Structure formats: structure tokens, C-alpha cells
Amino acid sequence: MRRIAAFVAVALLAAPAGAQTLRIGIGSDPNVLDPAASGSFVERVVFSALCDKLVDVGPDLAFRPELATRWAWAPDGLSLTLSLRAGVRFHDGTPLDAEAVRANLERYRSAPESRRRGELRPIRAIETPDPATVVIRLSAPYAPLLSVLADRAGMMMSPTALARLGERIREEPVCSGPFRLTRRVAQDRIEMERFPGYWNAAEIHAERLVFQPIPDGTVRLLNLRAGQLDIIERLSPSDVAEARRDARLQVVDSTALAYQTMAINTATGALRDPRVRQALELSIDRAVINQVALEGLFVPNNQPEAPGTPYHFADLPAPPRDPARARALLREAGHDRFAFTLKVTNSPVEGQVAQIIQAMAAEGGFDIRLETLESSTLVAATRRGDYDAAIVIWSGRPDPDGNIAIWLASDGFLNWGKYANPEVDAALAAARASTDPAARRAQYRLAAQRWLADRPHLILYNHRWFWGLRAGVEGFQPNADGIIRFAGLKVGGR
């Protein structure tokens, strides 16, 4: 009954607009619309309409031009030179030139509100020899830099707007993407209009764009089937078969860079004892989670990189489930039973995953209290270190440094639980400094051997992306990063 009521409420709010309005159902409401302060996946989905990046990533995970048309590494790996696209303007008319890029990168490097500082720490200087050229100089070789510039650290905002608004830019983001913000109603909708001055305007076909946050995946699907939405992201695994049977819909899927992890507070949380973390892992079975909660559609895994990819190590598998051994470990640590709180977002799928973990872990001697939070509230709590453990998604990056070091390096920008291991730090630093795949793989394996034993995270599974589309939507190109690209996307059949 609650789901039906929610569907009716959303349907009433989302009355059909003109034929050129594209309506997208997203899994949660973005916390901030400022790439500097952003920390959630859904914000990246919205930014794809607002803010172009210096570099993009194609469906094949190869880097491709966006605001930068060319780039070149110096032979010593200590500088990267970018050639900028001509004729680009921000939504307020400010030209995008080398000085604008420098201003954005300097803000990301140093602003108190910036969560990009760790990603850009190797930069020692940014030079602008002419308006179309940016030279990024590094203190040490930094192979992940292109991947970093293909995400929020590469999103350019108007320096005019930044000077005028400061931190309030999150309320009025001014970028150079295909759409510009016109209105935002928290927890309800984000409205945009086509930017006529966009450099690739001929490929942008929708006149208006509306993002509607709907946490319940089944409610998102109901709205799609009723014609109130055109695209929904993260179609729930339990809804995939039903959506595929509906002739009014399309289901598009892609293997994903994304993975689900249980982040553990190793500094101040209840799970500080590594024996307790080992017992917790021995209490769960990732394959059961996949079959029961995910319809067998995802990939059980104990590592950030998916099986079969160069930086996954098949010889370091998850231990088999052993509740008896888990209980014995807890007794060794001085506990008959062990209680802790597991935070989880208000997504029904993630809630079910948490419930399965709760039930399995009970047999291993754990009493888990589940705390369900809205996505941005959970992110804020983990950033403060206010958690024992939390189930979170990482949307993934094309370079392994962006999937591993962000959590596990002692200075990683998502190292909420303050995990620190000098051996892991050394291996990650060596991998970051090399562009040789074989050398990098050896270092990431050294790091994996150590952190898999320490268990600051229990990786649970790799995702597959499932999007639901109305039959009249054309030109949708799936991408492993889960981000919607708007070039070539057409709305029709309404």
C-alpha cells in the first residue's frame, strides 16, 4: 500500500510535459551540486547534464576528448599537457580558457570544501602558456591523473560564478554542460533546460530535463511503465525480468565498474579488533547475497576489481563461510556474542542485502542492529567517522587507483575509518608512480595480500547496470561507469 501511495504521489507531481522533455528517475536526491564537495554516485549522474569534464570515458573505458581535445605526457611522466576545445562557453557566457581551467584545478586542490584535494595532491603547479593550453606539473609520476580528470576533478565551473558565489556555487552551479539548472526542489526534482551555446548542441535533442529522486526501485519502475518517466537508472534486480517482458519498455544493461562494499571503522568503531572483522567475514556468504537479494544477476567478489580484469587476483579468494570458526574467533577475542550497528541507505535492495547479512552473521555470533538512512545522511555520518560499519556503493573508475587507494591509503579521501598500513601505502604509491601494467599489477597484488587480511572493507559484489527506458527513447549508449551521456539521446513516442 505504501509503494502504491508513493507511486500515485510521484505520478501526480510528474504530469507529462512537452515532447522534448526528458524525465529521469534517479535513486536518491543529490546532496550537493558542486563537484568540489560531491561525494555520491547520484551526483555524478546529474553532473553529466550540467558539467562537462576535461576528459571523458567511452563504453570501452578508453579516454576520449571532451573539453580537452588532446593530451600528452612528458617523457619523464612529470607533466601532462592539455589542449583545450575552442569556442566553449559556460552557462553564464564566460569563455572556457586555460585560465578558467587553472582556477578550477586550484580550487579543487586547496578549497576547504573540496573533496578533490587528495586526488590532485601530486600536482605541484598548473601553467597556462597560452589560452588554449594547460600544463599540469607533478611532484612525482601519477598514472591515475587522466582518470581523475575524467571525473569531478575535471569538471569545469564558471570562474565568474565561483568568484561571485564562493561555496554557494552548490546552490547555483554554473558549468559548460549540455543543460543548465533552472530549478531545484529538494527531495522532489531537479529541472534543467537545454543550453543553446553548448559546443555540441547539434547532438542534444531534449529541450528540458527533469531528474526525479525516487529511492524505491519498484516505484521508479511503476512510474516508467505509467509513462511518467522516460529513463530510470539502477533498475532493481528483482524488477529486471518483469521489465523485459513489458513491450512498452527497453532494458539496457552493461557490466559495471561499480561495486558494493561494507566499509568498517577500524579506528573508533566497534569492529576495531581484526579478529572480530575476520569472524564477520567468515559469517557471510557472498553467493547467497547475490542469489537471494540480486536475482543472481551481479558478481560476488571480495575485491574492488571485477573477476577476469587485470587487477583482480583470483588466487586471493574470499574464505568459505564458516559460522563455527567465526564463533570461535569471537570467543578468542573475549566475546560470547558481538553487537554492532550497520548503516545502510533507504534503498530496498541494499536494505535486503543488509538483512541477509544480519541473518547470516547471527549464526556466527553477531547481533547486528540495522540503521536505515537517506543516502546523503549516511555519507555525512561516515565522513564524520560516526559508524561501526556501513554498506556503500562505489561507482568505480577506469584506473585501479580510483577503486582501491581512495579507501585504503592512509590519506585516501574516502578512508573514513582511518585504516593505515605502511605496507599497503608503499605498494599503492609504487603502483601510482608507474605506467607499466605489469609493474602496477605486482604492486596492487602486494597491497591486496595485506588489506584482505586486515579487512578494513568487506567487498561484497560487483554490479551490473540496468537501465529502464520507454520504448520511444532512442540513442541511449550504456557505459560501464553507469553515467548517462546525453549526446544523441532522443525522446519520442509520447
175 Cβ neighbours under 8 A, 6+ residues apart: 47, 50, 51, 52, 90, 91, 155, 156, 157, 158
Residue 492 has pLDDT above 90, yes or no: no
Asked whether the predicted pLDDT for residue 116 surpasses 80, the reply is yes
Q: Which of 107, 120, 109, 216 is nearest to 167 (CA)?
A: 107
306 three-class SS:
coil
- Please give the domain boundaries of the chain with CATH numbers for all domains: 2-33+45-50+177-248 (3.40.190.10), 55-162 (3.90.76.10), 257-463 (3.10.105.10)
314-357, pLDDT tens digit by residue?
A: 999 999 999 999 999 999 999 999 999 999 999 888 999 999 99
116-124 average pLDDT score: 93
Q: What is the pLDDT of residue 18?
A: 45
> Residue 437: is it exposed, middle or buried by C-beta count within 10 angstroms (0-12/13-18/19+)?
exposed
Per-chain mean pLDDT for the chain: 93
Q: Compute the average pLDDT of residues 388-392.
A: 97
- Average pLDDT of span 21-40: 94
Q: DSSP label at 316?
A: S
Q: Give the pLDDT confidence of 58-100 residue by residue, as tens digits.
A: 988 889 999 999 999 999 889 999 999 999 999 999 999 999 9
* 270-290 exposure pattern, b = at least 16 Cβ within 10 A, e = fewer: ebebeebbbbbbbbbbbeebb
- What is the per-residue pLDDT across 421-443, written as a single tens digit (0 to 9) for each? 999 999 999 999 888 889 999 99
Query: What share of the chain has pLDDT > 70, as a percent?
Result: 96
Q: In the predicted model, what is the mean pLDDT of residues 291-308?
A: 95
Mean pLDDT of 42-68: 95
236 band by pLDDT with thresholds 50, 70 and 90: confident
pLDDT at residue 493, as a whole number: 62
Pairing between β-strand 231-232 and β-strand 21-26 as defined by DSSP bridges: parallel
Q: What residues contact residue 77 under an 8 Å CB cut-off, 6+ apart? A: 138, 141, 142, 143, 435
Minimum mean pLDDT range among 101-105, 402-406, 416-420, 434-438: 434-438
* This prediction's pTM: 0.79
| pLDDT at residue number 494 | 55
Angstrom distance (rounded) from CA 282 to CA 342: 17
Alpha-carbon distance of 462 to 309, in angstroms, equals: 12
User: Residue 187 has which C-alpha cell?
Assistant: 527531495
The 10s digit of each residue's pLDDT in 175-186 is 999 999 999 999
- pLDDT at position 294: 96
Check residue 255 and give its pLDDT: 82
pLDDT-wise least confident of 138-142, 336-340, 411-415, 416-420: 411-415
